[in-house]
Amino acid sequence: MMKPLAGAPDAETLPPAFTRWFEARGWRPRAHQLALLALARQGKSALLIAPTGAGKTLAGFLPSLADLATRSAPKKRALHTLYISPLKALAVDVKRNLEMPIAEMGLDISIETRTGDTPQNRRQRQRREPPDILMTTPEQLALLLSYPDAGAFFGSLAHVVLDELHALANSKRGDLLALGLARLAKLAPCLRRTGLSATVAEPDALRRYLMPQPPERDGESLSEVVVAPPGALPEISVLTPADEGDEEIRIPWSGHSARHALPAVYEAIRANRTTLVFVNTRSQAEFVFQELWRLNEDALPIALHHGSLAAEVRRKVEAAMSAGTLRAVVCTSTLDLGIDWGEVDLVVNMGAPKGASRLLQRIGRANHRLDDPSRAVLVPANRFEVLECEAARAAAIEGAQDGMIARTGALDVLAQHILGCACSAPFDPDDLYGEVRSAAPYRGLTRDDFDKVVAFVSTGGYALKNYDRFARLRPNAKAEGDMRLRAASPSVIQQYRMNVGTIVEAPMLKVRMTKRGGRRPVGGPGRNMGGRYLGEIEEYFIDQLAPGDTFLFAGQVLRFEGLAETEALVTKSNAAEPMIPSYYGGKFPLSTYLAGRVRRLFAHREAWAALPAPVREWLEIQAWRSVLPGENNLLVETFPRGDRFYLVCYPFEGRLAHQTLGMLLTRRLDRAGARPLGFVASEYALAIWCLRDPGMMHERHELPLGELFAEDMLGDDLDAWLAESSLLKRTFRDCAIISGLIERRYPGMEKTGRQVTFSSDLIYNVLREHEPDHILLRATWNDAATGLLDVGRVAEMLKRVKGRIQLKRLDRVSPLAVPVLLDIGKVSVRGDADEALLSEAADDLIAEATRLV
């Protein structure tokens, strides 16, 4: 299926200017670069899979450059190639990298970027006088397609290059882009597509994504694929205290801060030239940055980079990085992709990587030279993470990847696209339906659903037909029988352009320095209180703070003073430690593939040799006190503790799936009379506590575990619970915004006070009560079921463990159960007193679990 580089031509097929350029540098075009060129000459679309540093970008553009270099002089420039990247910074960076060879070969080719930052006048000029090559983002493509002149603008388009396709395709942005590509295929029928991707587990999904799909009965269409040889094997180590020979430092039982390991991380930074320190959340970035500076006796230039910092701060860090003046940057996934910083020689990943592919992507940030190995250090924050890091390391050495979750195109994105089409030109629903279904994610879309989405775009699509006179779509010329649909008014078009895109940010508040002891801040005028602007922070985080609380932001401990309009006012705090511990839990769930590998590691003792002694002992005592989870079964432990009975199980399916499972099991336990009181979920385990003993209930056949973990979730009113959950309400809000039902909140729009805005929760409640099968609720449910709630994953797990549940009734807590039990009460941890209380409790638990008699 993937014959790499079959029929690759030799360098002679390049235009002479190109051959001379390669020769002048002592380079030769790489085989995969020539293979792409050959396929392009045959008019074929292709997917290029290549590791970082393999000249992927040049490979993608070489066919366009060759084509443009040899064309006869055009009368007027017309758009030839469109480049689309997930990051605007990447578009800018790639443009810079292309300009050099173009200038050196003396080619008359114009390249421009178009992003959200491009000034209005230049955007207008670009539509009148397009460059040969335009570098842009999926959102800008959607905008360009919504103009009436889209047909003329894209008519000449010969080639689309999709960069980092693996990061784009499997998301709502990918859905939007797929619909845009389907449109482009209509406007420019000879269009070729090139996808550039890192290694993926299932290349066929991306090959399908690249091609316009025929109707389902005619099978599927796959692009060609070119696979470049892999780079050198990465060198990955897992940092554990044992490495340092320091017996005093224990690997924590729970928690996500990895504070114990930071001195060793600092040493690694000192020993290398430039280090990228990846973390999973903004708050973790803040914490690690602060701790590193506390250790930074040599005053090494160490910087911080995350999405919430002010843009100018981020740009400064990026510039310093490019100039090679930084020794380390602590960053979140904002730096996972793209930009080539050349001199990075070590990647540190704080905490567990959560997925094999994410780890490979991050490791690839170190050393862009293909033939040298990338070097990475994984820093587990607790004992379970040691196992996860080991599993991830083994996966990375094998080059193994996470599987992709098969995705069906989101209906809210489709709604946005349909409105965009109506803004550009009148459309015939029959034609548009065919076009939409040619986009791979929407292949299975039924006509009924399509029509419902069209109705939604026009009038909300409610069963109560009250809004027909406010319809946003109108027949083009009803009197003449032209029933094609168009946008009803310029204000509809305006609305679309304000709302385009699928990224819904959590509502953010500006963080600004102020003078201590201002007036009562709520609702005050607040204008003259402003000092330096530090960045933006999630509104829900600030909601959790009371004035006087201290927290970490922008690398310092700040004291929250109060709110003024949309700004959180803060002062500098002298406290060394913030009072409000940020939540360090990962926002990425453990991938199914990696979870499987962790289970395997438990089951295979011979692999434990790689583990540090305390972790090995922990597993040994678990084997002795209870039993180890197997590769394919589900271990369930029950034990009394205090006046309660605990049930702990180890599905290893990630926190989100475990939360959903926890909800399901508590309902079933409740019905069976076990009187469950609560549950807590971690990435690896789920603990539920009850007034009656579920282990005993199993043995008395009151509630057999087979029934408790039964596969069939119907009749559990799980839906009803989920519908009430705040997760679903948040998902609804995102869908309502993407679909264009409600408008985005922009900074400064809330000035009129909150009582005039409506809350999406109120809309959700009313809609759920009166039209529960409305298309928008279905879109919400689809999102939640695949992503946030992982219902699908819970169902898969229950199927997998059917008939393989192993119950171990214990007289006290097992070693493996300690970490998840320590998570209980984490919600209310505040200040030092609570911290001390908790650690006391923790020591009790550990002594109890490891006591040998």
Partner 1 sequence: MYGRMKDRRRESRLATHPSLRVCGARFDLMPEGAAWLADERLLVVADLHFEKGSAFAARGVALPPYDTRATIARLEALVEKLKPQTLVALGDSFHDREAGHRMSPEDAARLARLSRSLDWVWIAGNHDPVPPRAFGGAVMEELRVGPLTFRHEPRAAPSTGEVAGHLHPCAAVRVRGRRLRRRCFASDGTRMIMPAFGAYAGGLNVLDAAYGDLLPGFDFHAWMMGAKTVIPVSARRLEGD
Segment near partner 1 (CB under 8 A); pick from 391-399, 459-467, 621-629, 658-666: 459-467
Which residue lies nearer to partner 1 by CB, 201 or 742? 742
Stretch that binds partner 1, among 25-33, 529-537, 763-771, 795-803 (CB under 8 A): 763-771
Q: Is 831 in the site for partner 1 (CB under 8 A)?
A: no
Question: ∠ at Cα 71 (65, 74), nearest 5°?
Answer: 115
459 near partner 1 (CB under 8 A): yes
- Minimum separation from the CB atom of position 461 to partner 1 (A): 8
When asked if residue 492 is in the footprint of partner 1 (CB under 8 A), the reply is: yes
Sole binder of partner 1 in the list 42, 70, 97, 466 (CB under 8 A): 466
754 lies in the binding site for partner 1 (CB under 8 A): yes
Interface mask toward partner 1 for 701-740; x: CB under 8 A: ----------------------------------------
C-beta of residue 551 within 8 angstroms of C-beta of residue 308: no
Closest CA relative to residue 258, chosen from 282, 284, 276, 295:
284
- How far from chain centre, in Å, is Cα 45? 27
Output the smallest distance, CB 540 to partner 1, in A.
Answer: 9
| Cβ neighbours around 325 below 10 Å, total | 11
Q: In 10 A of CB 431, how many CB atoms?
A: 12
Tell which one of 124, 544, 632, 839 touches partner 1 (CB under 8 A).
544
The two three-digit tokens of residue 725, written as one number? 């959950």
Residue among 602, 623, 630 at smallest CA distance from 815: 623
Q: C-beta of 605: minimal distance to partner 1 in Å? A: 42
Instruction: Please list the alpha-helical segments (H only) found in 156-276.
Output: 165-169, 172-187, 203-210, 262-271
Q: Is 451 exposed, middle or buried (0-12, 13-18, 19+ CB in 10 A)?
A: middle
Q: Which is nearer to partner 1, 12 or 769 (CB)?
A: 769
Nearest 10 degrees: Cα torsion 388, 391, 395, 396: 60
Single residue of 299, 311, 323, 756 touching partner 1 by CB under 8 A: 756
Tokens 């192993």 label which residue?
806
The DSSP call for residue 365 is: T
The CA distance from 409 to 848, in Å, is 51
Q: What number of chain residues touch partner 1 (CB under 8 A)? A: 42
User: What track of x and - describes contact with partner 1 for positions 558 through 597 (by CB under 8 A)?
Assistant: ----xx----------------------------------
Binding residue for partner 1, selected from 70, 97, 124, 757, defined by CB under 8 A: 757
Can residue 27 be called a binding residue for partner 1 (CB under 8 A)? no
Would you say 334 or 765 has its CB closer to partner 1? 765
Buried b (16+ CB within 10 A) or exposed e, 179-205: bbbbbbbbbbeebbbbbbbbbbeebeb
Phi-psi sector, 410: left (phi>0), alpha (psi -120 to 50), beta: beta
528 binds partner 1 (CB under 8 A): no
In whole angstroms, how large is the CA radius of gyration of the chain?
28
Q: Which of 827, 833, 847, 853 binds partner 1 (CB under 8 A)?
A: 827
Q: Which stretch binds partner 1 (CB under 8 A): 68-76, 117-125, 317-325, 754-762?
A: 754-762
By CB under 8 A, residue 741 contacts partner 1: yes
Binding of partner 1 at residue 799 (CB under 8 A)? no
Among positions 22, 147, 293, 462, the unique one binding partner 1 when judged by CB under 8 A: 462
How many other CB atoms are there within 10 angstroms of residue 522's CB atom?
10
Among 6, 406, 522, 836, which residue sits at the site for partner 1 (rule: CB under 8 A)?
522
Q: Which stretch binds partner 1 (CB under 8 A): 251-259, 316-324, 334-342, 750-758?
A: 750-758
Return the beta strands (E) in 691-766 as ranges: none
Do the beta carbons of residue 390 and residue 240 sit within 8 Å? no
**Which residues of this protein are in contact with partner 1, per CB under 8 A?**
459-460, 462, 464, 466-467, 470, 472, 491-492, 495, 521-524, 543-544, 546, 562-563, 741-743, 753-759, 762-763, 765-767, 769-771, 774, 827-828, 830
